[in-house]
């Protein structure tokens, strides 16, 4: 048994930063990672998918080159081996940098093994067990594989195995029409695959407002993605030339035949094989570790950060968890998870930038809501770029004048949305932005104009 001041389990988006901070305060820290340093974001999530999205965008723009007066002779081809090599190099750069930083850091010992609790203070590492009074769990999650007849008989893909693909699937069936499914769906269509997205809800990304779902469907269908809505995938079977997904649906064919299947139906936390019972750490019925507003578990001295606590499902929420815990533990701060404003992006092209409330959430809040909207066809920057799909919508509290939320679907909106996010954090009235001079030509320059023309939400 080796004694440490702190143990960090998992090297996702919260653990390493916390380990460096604790070590910088002179604490001896054990970090345990069972697989790839950097976790989901670096290896099989954000970084590789956004690298692949960039390749898909290049292919799309090459196909559209003539619209811009650029002549490309011959067919546009996509070299999937080269696409993967590019993605792998970007991922390796990030992972290797983090690995060597952890290995070389003073006061940090990196264990490469599966962590399992032996008691509330002791953890197995695959090598000698370790002991500490402070333990931070950052074990993240993995793709949820639904139990469906035939699933084990077909070579299905999930976000991790998708990263190994260096060929073009003839016809990719994407089960799940939410964030992960839409990004992969559009990307592979642009690489040249036939793509069918199967979604059991009546619309894509069903947590978003209906017009956002409809606009995204339009974007995808215009590029030739087949979208099957209200269709629940119930079983799979192998066919000579590929895979068949059988659907429970009232409209359309009861099956889709393709060459490959990607399961993008949600995530589950990596808490089932952590020995949490030996530590007495409580989980909810879905396996997420129960935490309070400062990310403390029910066991004193044990915290849970990142996707495994069910309080966020993004890299930035995991990183914010680190900031909350570090501030409260080391700087006598009083930061809370509930202080943060919901914010995320969907990296389709065009991207969706989201902050705060949707229209349906604003309606439910019972406030007097004002709305400002503008289609991207009336945004100069979008017209100049030839990327006019989507729209901007900003919601304002008619009484406090604070911004409640925004849905920005359009070119550059994953970046532009931060102007609104920061104003919400500042709790400033919308009139501050309405009177600000913004830079031309940008997407953000329209925010003051939109805020100057607010109407009651009907
Ligand atoms: C395809 C895809 C695309 C995504 N794109 C985005 C995006 O664009 N933006 C965004 O914000 N988010 C995105 N996400 C979500 C993001 O990747 C996660 O929210 C983020 O990685 C969560 O980090 P985490 O710190 O909770 O844990 P993770 O990054 O999942 O890391 C957990 C680590 O713990 C290790 N571990 C687990 N159990 C043990 C154990 N018992 N012992 C030792 N080690 C263990 C794992 O091996 C892993 O390395 C995406 C996710 C996917 C799947």
Nearest protein Cα to ligand 1, atom 8: 46
According to the model, what pLDDT value does residue 256 have? 96
H helix intervals, 120-172: 159-162
How far is the centre of ligand 1, averaged over its atoms, from the C-alpha of 341 (Å)?
21
Only one residue has tokens 């090598």, namely 127
Nearest protein Cα to ligand 1, atom 52: 45
State which residues of the chain have pLDDT below 50: none
According to the model, what pLDDT value does residue 458 have? 82
State the Cα–Cα distance between residues 91 and 174, nearest whole angstrom.
24
pTM score, two decimals?
0.97
According to the model, what pLDDT value does residue 297 have? 98
Does the Cβ of 14 fall within 6 Å of ligand 1?
Answer: yes
Q: Answer for the pair 307, 140: CB distance below 8 angstroms, yes or no.
A: yes
How far is the centre of ligand 1, averaged over its atoms, from the C-alpha of 35 (Å)?
12
Edge-to-edge strands of the sheet including 231-239? 231-239, 242-249, 255-258
Does the Cβ of 159 fall within 6 Å of ligand 1?
Answer: yes
Q: Which atom of ligand 1 is nearest to the CA of 115?
A: 42
State the Cα–Cα distance between residues 408 and 428, nearest whole angstrom.
20
Q: Quickly list DSSP for 255-315.
A: EEEESEEEE-S-EEETTTTS-HHHHT--B-TTSPBP--TT-B-SSTTEEE-GGGGSS--SH
Does the Cβ of 138 fall within 6 Å of ligand 1?
Answer: yes
Cis peptide before 112 (omega within 30 of 0): no
With CA atoms as reference, report the closest residue to 177 among 153, 148, 208, 154: 208
H helix intervals, 105-223: 159-162, 179-191, 210-222
State the Cα–Cα distance between residues 325 and 252, nearest whole angstrom.
50
According to the model, what pLDDT value does residue 240 have? 83
Does the Cβ of 295 fall within 6 Å of ligand 1?
Answer: no
**Which of helix, strand or coil describes residue 89?**
helix
Handedness of CA 318, 319, 324, 327 (dihedral sign): positive
How far is the centre of ligand 1, averaged over its atoms, from the C-alpha of 13 (Å)?
7
According to the model, what pLDDT value does residue 241 have? 86
State the Cα–Cα distance between residues 120 and 326, nearest whole angstrom.
21
How far is the centre of ligand 1, averaged over its atoms, from the C-alpha of 162 (Å)?
15
Does the Cβ of 114 fall within 6 Å of ligand 1?
Answer: yes
Neighbours of 248 (CB within 10 A): 12
């Amino acid at each position: 048994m080796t004694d440490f001041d702190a143990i960090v389990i998992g090297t996702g988006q919260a653990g390493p930063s916390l380990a460096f901070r604790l070590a910088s305060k002179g604490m001896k820290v054990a970090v345990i990672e069972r697989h790839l340093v950097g976790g989901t974001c670096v290896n099989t999530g954000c970084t590789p998918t956004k690298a692949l999205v960039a390749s898909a965008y290049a292919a799309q723009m090459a196909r559209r080159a003539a619209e811009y007066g650029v002549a490309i002779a011959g067919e546009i081809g996509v070299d999937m081996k080269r696409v993967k090599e590019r993605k792998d190099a970007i991922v390796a750069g990030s992972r290797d940098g983090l690995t060597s930083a952890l290995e070389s850091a003073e006061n940090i010992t990196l264990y490469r093994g599966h962590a399992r609790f032996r008691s509330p203070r002791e953890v197995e590492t695959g090598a000698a067990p370790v002991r500490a009074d402070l333990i931070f769990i950052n074990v993240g999650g993995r793709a949820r594989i639904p139990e469906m007849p035939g699933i084990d008989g077909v070579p299905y893909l999930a976000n991790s195995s998708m990263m190994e693909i260096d060929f073009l699937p003839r016809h990719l069936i994407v089960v799940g029409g939410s964030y992960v499914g839409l990004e992969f769906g559009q990307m592979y269509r642009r690489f040249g695959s036939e793509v069918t997205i199967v979604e059991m809800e009546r619309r894509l990304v069903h947590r978003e407002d209906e017009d956002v779902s409809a606009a995204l469907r339009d974007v995808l269908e215009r590029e030739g993605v087949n979208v099957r809505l209200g269709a629940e995938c119930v079983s799979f079977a192998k066919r000579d030339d590929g895979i068949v997904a059988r659907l429970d649906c009232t409209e359309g064919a009861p099956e889709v035949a393709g060459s490959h299947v990607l399961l993008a139906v949600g995530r589950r936390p990596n808490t089932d094989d952590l020995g949490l019972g030996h530590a007495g750490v409580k989980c909810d019925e879905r396996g997420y570790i129960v935490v309070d507003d400062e990310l403390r578990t029910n066991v004193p001295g044990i915290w849970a950060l990142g996707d495994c606590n069910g309080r966020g499902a993004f890299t930035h929420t995991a990183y914010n968890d680190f900031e909350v815990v570090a501030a409260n533990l080391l700087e006598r701060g009083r930061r809370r998870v509930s202080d943060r404003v919901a914010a995320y992006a969907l990296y389709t092209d065009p991207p969706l930038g989201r902050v705060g409330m949707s229209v349906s959430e604003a309606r439910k809040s019972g406030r007097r809501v004002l709305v400002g909207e503008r289609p991207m066809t009336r945004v100069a920057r979008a017209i100049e770029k030839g990327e006019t799909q989507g729209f901007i919508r900003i919601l304002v509290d008619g009484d406090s004048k604070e911004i409640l939320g925004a849905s920005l679907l359009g070119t550059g909106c994953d970046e532009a949305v931060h102007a609104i996010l920061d104003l919400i954090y500042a709790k400033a009235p919308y009139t501050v932005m309405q009177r600000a001079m913004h830079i031309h030509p940008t997407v953000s320059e329209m925010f003051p104009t939109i805020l100057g023309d607010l109407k009651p939400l009907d």
